[in-house]
A and B are shown apart, each in its own frame.
Chain A
Amino acid sequence: MEGMEEIVEQSLREMRETFASGRTRSVKWRKTQLAAIIEMVKDNEDKMCDVLFQDLGKHSTEAFRDELGFVMRSATTALNFLDKWVVPRKSNLPLLFYPAKGQVISEPYGTVLVLSSWNFPISLSLDPLIGAISAGNTVLLKASELSPNASAFLAKTIPSYLDNKAIKVIEGGPDVATILLKHQWDKIFFTGSPRIGKIIMAAAAEHLTPVTLELGGKCPTIIDHHSVSKDMKSVVKRISGGKWGSCSGQACISVDYVLIEQSFASSLIDMLKPTVKSFFGENPKESGCLSRIVSKKHFQRLSRLLNDPRVQASIVYGGSMDEEKLYVEPTILLDPPLDSEIMNEEIFGPILPIITLRDIQESIGFIKSKPKPLAIYAFTKDENLKTRILSETSSGSVTFNDVMIQYMCDALPFGGVGESGIGRYHGKYSFECFSHEKAIMEGSLAMDLEARYPPWNNFKLTFIRLAFREAYFKLVLLMLGLIKK
């Protein structure tokens, strides 16, 4: 640990020096780094798919879609728009301040810490990195030790592509994280569980460090089968993709559970079963298209959720597990007890509870009774229901008639609210996430107003009153002595 403390201190020192030198502020430097990230991903596509397969059993298509392609696109967007993002924003000042001018400029925070998660270890490391670089910061990245191959890949490869005095990678687990969090950072960006999020924020509080916390939660999916009956096939397909098609349900924006009217539950299950088969064949374990559970610990966690006898009783499909292969079969539950662990914890696995309601309108109350999720998915064409969802619930985002695409759209802010997170990123929001917007005011020494200074009197008070009301005409009258004080 001594060795690690020293490494951290040294890295910090070097990054701060680099930042102080001003090098990372130049747009040219930032673009060079961003282009290098794209190059790194292109050059190492196979290797990256390899490590993702080793860590999570991800198929290369999933790896490309969710991580590699996503990162390249994100870096390209930043490259293409950086010149625009760095332009100061002029402010229109009220006439009262004439001839002063105002603007807001974005400046880097300084030296930032990015802590990423294991489920998308490449994109959840590189995407925030892209934001931090675009904003001109120096960055220390710590990838998750639960995806050791991806972490090792990043630690080894990043220094050979990026400016290694400005961007550093450290590997390790909670012990390294603890050391890192003792230090003062100018910003901390964390992706992970709410439990760890609290620890991070508490550590940040000691140094008054701003944080962005991309956490999780149970993302509910509402199916209003009345209004989407004609499209049920697509609905079921999308929900299935949203549960099992990305890292086996181990994603913060995975469909966690479904809400549907009782009368339609069994039809839904009858449609889900063949869909799962169409995705993964008769034997999902051998399909090569279903990611595995990341670790024994998480496997045991999911085991525990399923082994609750009342939950077991609610299994209508799947349920088999293989600890050696860290495999959990795509599983469907029908109405597990609402007080069971599986209905109160983020599942983060390939188990889909279906919760039935008498009326789909009850889904609103149901969602509101739980912590604010990162995403709400609602399949409906009923405008009333849509309005109710938007105005009566709160979540990081709401997606109608699809799942997970909000993540891909970098024109939209991606982040949680309440227990699902603080702050947001993607696209320009990534740039803003790692920037401090500094207000600049250019005053003029040419004109001075006596009313600004003591000694106070009625004239000055009247002047100030009128000034605040922006009653310019009256101000002129006052100064000409034409109105009473």
Chain B
Amino acid sequence: MEAMKEMVEQELGELRQTFASGRTRSMKWRKRQLSAIIEMVKEKEDEICKALFQDLGKHPTEAYRDELVKGKVISEPLGTVLIMSSWNLPISLCLDPLIGAISAGSTVMLKPSELSPNASSFLAKTIPTYLDSKAIKVMEGGPDISTVLLQHKWDKIFFTGSQKVGRIVMSAAAQHLTPVTLELGGKCPTILDDRSISGDIKTAVKRISGGKWGFCSGQVCVAVDYLLIEQRFASSLIDMMKQTIKSFYGENPKDSGCISKIVNKNHFFRLSRFLNDPHIKASIVHGGFTDEEKLIDIEPTILLDPPLDSEIMTEEIFGPIFQLLHQLRDIQESVEFVRSRPKPLALYVFTKDNNLKTRILSETSSGSVTFNDVMIQSICEALPFGGVGESGMGRYHGQYSYECFSHEKAVVEGNLAVELEARYPPWTTYKLSFIRLSFLEDIFGLVLLMLSERLHTTRLQVNYDTNMNRNSVAKSLYTTELRLFSVVVNYSSLNIIVVIQS
């Protein structure tokens, strides 16, 4: 532990020094690092796939598709940042935020998850050979090293993981007033309004199935967690899903080579525990087989209406178990169902009914909403990716990544040539009037005011219209000798009436 603390302090010290040197601010440096990441991913593709297979049993296609990275631009780097990533997409959830941090010109400490040890050691070994190792460092380890890291002050912390750990990270960040981005999870609901999409139901079912089982066996923050449908549709849906699962994985999913495994025994037992609950067991309509030896399975499993208060319905599943909730008499009830639960990271809705779409958009809240598809919002760089409420705070991807690691500094250029007495005490009626008119950006009034000072007027009378939008201001200028003129300025209709009297 002592040695670890020393190591962290040393590494952090070097990162800060590097940042202070200004090296990471140069565009040239940033572009070079970003190119190096691309090069690394290209050259080491096989090794990456191997590591992912060892950690998660990921098929290379899944590995390629999901662990992709891109990058972007700048304002002012926050400084030295900490990135802690999750085990389910261990390459992309490290490199993607890393790309954002580099784009922003920050120095970075990366701590991959110890639950994906092969990916973690690959990154720890390879990153230093491609990237500037005084500016970008990788540290391996589990909760003990995270604790040491979190004791230090960072200029930003980017965390991907569970809500429970998210709270710990934010509490630690609070001690140093460190801004955080927390990419957490939640139960991503899917609403299937089969009536309005009847012609395309096959595609919908395929997409939903892909969204449950096609990505790390459901162990993804944006995986389809549960499905809401109308009662009468349940049995057709189950039949269609069974067929789809077969088309994906054949008769024997664990032999298909196309399904990721559960990451470790802990998570496996977590999921098994769900399934062993007698109430849950009773609701299994497909699958349910678990194989502790191979840790692959938990085969693709479908539950029909597990009890709403069961653990499986209150916790994020993060596994290949799909709950179908079909007690809705009308799909409109799904809106209230979603609202009564914590805000999810993503909400998927298959419908062509514009009314339902509007209701969902305005009556629910989530990180994102995707209509008629699943998960594509997370690979679309043009859209911000992040949660709200318990599903997270902050966002990244594309330009948002580099904003995430930047501080947008306001810069104002004052002018020493123009000096306004009204800015300074001692306060007088003149100065107060001046300030009032300045706030209204009433140039004309200001001119009149300054004129009135020159002419030694006794007063300037300013009446506002109560509806400032119409911006009608009546001003009268009085001098000691004569009432010079009255001016009514109506900005909305651009009328200026000048009355000169003597």
CA distance A279 to B414 in the complex (A): 22
The proximity string for A residues 443-472 relative to B, scoring 1 for CB distances below 8 Å and 0 otherwise, is 111101000111111001100110010000
Inter-chain contact B68/A439, CB cutoff 8 Å: no
Inter-chain contact A62/B427, CB cutoff 8 Å: yes
Inter-chain contact A79/B432, CB cutoff 8 Å: no
Inter-chain contact B177/A213, CB cutoff 8 Å: yes
CA distance A225 to B79 in the complex (A): 31
Tell whether A91 pairs with B383 under 8 Å between CB atoms, given A397-B411, A445-B197: yes
Which of the candidate stretches A138-146, A204-212, A306-314 sits at the interface with the other chain?
A204-212
CA distance A61 to B79 in the complex (A): 41
A282 at interface by CB-CB < 8 Å: no
Inter-chain contact B210/A453, CB cutoff 8 Å: yes
The proximity string for A residues 157-186 relative to B, scoring 1 for CB distances below 8 Å and 0 otherwise, is 000000000000000000000000000001
Which A residues are in CB contact (< 8 Å) with B25?
Answer: 391
B256 at interface by CB-CB < 8 Å: yes
CA distance A201 to B259 in the complex (A): 41
**How far, in Å, is A398 (CB) from chain B's closest CB?**
5
CA distance A109 to B76 in the complex (A): 28
Residue of A nearest to B429 (CB): A61
**How far, in Å, is A226 (CB) from chain B's closest CB?**
14
B203 at interface by CB-CB < 8 Å: yes
Which A residues are in CB contact (< 8 Å) with B500?
Answer: none
Which B residues are in CB contact (< 8 Å) with A461?
Answer: 60-61, 64
Residue of A nearest to B20 (CB): A368
Which of the candidate stretches A320-328, A331-339, A350-358, A413-421 sits at the interface with the other chain?
A413-421
Which A residues are in CB contact (< 8 Å) with B416?
Answer: 228, 231, 234-235, 379, 401-402
The proximity string for B residues 152-178 relative to A, scoring 1 for CB distances below 8 Å and 0 otherwise, is 000100000001001100110111010
A60 at interface by CB-CB < 8 Å: yes
Inter-chain contact B439/A281, CB cutoff 8 Å: no
Inter-chain contact B249/A454, CB cutoff 8 Å: yes
Inter-chain contact B382/A91, CB cutoff 8 Å: yes
The proximity string for B residues 52-70 relative to A, scoring 1 for CB distances below 8 Å and 0 otherwise, is 0000000111101100100
From 83 to 99 in chain A, residues with beta carbon under 8 angstroms from any chain B beta carbon are: 91-94, 97
CA distance A452 to B466 in the complex (A): 60
Which B residues are in CB contact (< 8 Å) with A204?
Answer: 170, 174
Which A residues are in CB contact (< 8 Å) with B266?
Answer: none
B424 at interface by CB-CB < 8 Å: yes
CA distance A469 to B59 in the complex (A): 20
Which B residues are in CB contact (< 8 Å) with A197?
Answer: 177
Which A residues are in CB contact (< 8 Å) with B207?
Answer: 448, 452
A304 at interface by CB-CB < 8 Å: no
The proximity string for B residues 287-325 relative to A, scoring 1 for CB distances below 8 Å and 0 otherwise, is 000000000000000000000000000000000000000
A442 at interface by CB-CB < 8 Å: yes
Residue of A nearest to B388 (CB): A436
CA distance A461 to B79 in the complex (A): 38
Which of the candidate stretches B228-236, B402-410, B473-481 sits at the interface with the other chain?
B402-410
Inter-chain contact B62/A94, CB cutoff 8 Å: no
Residue of B nearest to A233 (CB): B419
A116 at interface by CB-CB < 8 Å: no
Residue of B nearest to A35 (CB): B467
From 443 to 468 in chain B, residues with beta carbon under 8 angstroms from any chain A beta carbon are: 464, 466-468
From 409 to 445 in chain B, residues with beta carbon under 8 angstroms from any chain A beta carbon are: 409-417, 419, 423-428, 431-432, 435-436, 439
Which of the candidate stretches A3-11, A100-108, A123-131, A261-269 sits at the interface with the other chain?
A100-108
Which B residues are in CB contact (< 8 Å) with A423?
Answer: 179
Residue of A nearest to B394 (CB): A210
Which of the candidate stretches A69-77, A295-303, A474-482 sits at the interface with the other chain?
A69-77
Inter-chain contact B258/A42, CB cutoff 8 Å: no
Inter-chain contact A406/B383, CB cutoff 8 Å: no
Inter-chain contact A208/B163, CB cutoff 8 Å: yes
Tell whether A440 pairs with B368 under 8 Å between CB atoms, given A287-B425, A445-B200: yes
CA distance A48 to B409 in the complex (A): 33
**How far, in Å, is A234 (CB) from chain B's closest CB?**
5
Inter-chain contact A186/B389, CB cutoff 8 Å: yes
Inter-chain contact A400/B390, CB cutoff 8 Å: no
Residue of B nearest to A401 (CB): B414
CA distance A343 to B468 in the complex (A): 45
B239 at interface by CB-CB < 8 Å: no
Enumerate 28 A-B pairs (CB-CB under 8 Å) in ascending A order.
Answer: A25-B362, A42-B464, A59-B425, A62-B427, A64-B436, A79-B469, A102-B377, A104-B383, A198-B175, A202-B175, A208-B184, A208-B392, A238-B423, A244-B425, A245-B425, A279-B425, A391-B22, A394-B76, A394-B79, A399-B414, A414-B410, A423-B179, A438-B388, A443-B376, A445-B197, A445-B373, A454-B256, A456-B59
- Interface contacts beyond A238-B423, A438-B365, A452-B210: sample of 16 additional A-B pairs, CB < 8 Å, sorted by A: A25-B362, A64-B436, A69-B435, A97-B380, A100-B376, A110-B365, A186-B389, A245-B423, A399-B412, A401-B414, A424-B408, A436-B365, A445-B197, A448-B203, A453-B248, A454-B214
Ranked nearest first, the 10 interchain pairs of A and B with the lowest CB-CB distance are A402-B414, A443-B373, A201-B174, A205-B170, A456-B61, A445-B200, A61-B427, A401-B414, A289-B425, A439-B368
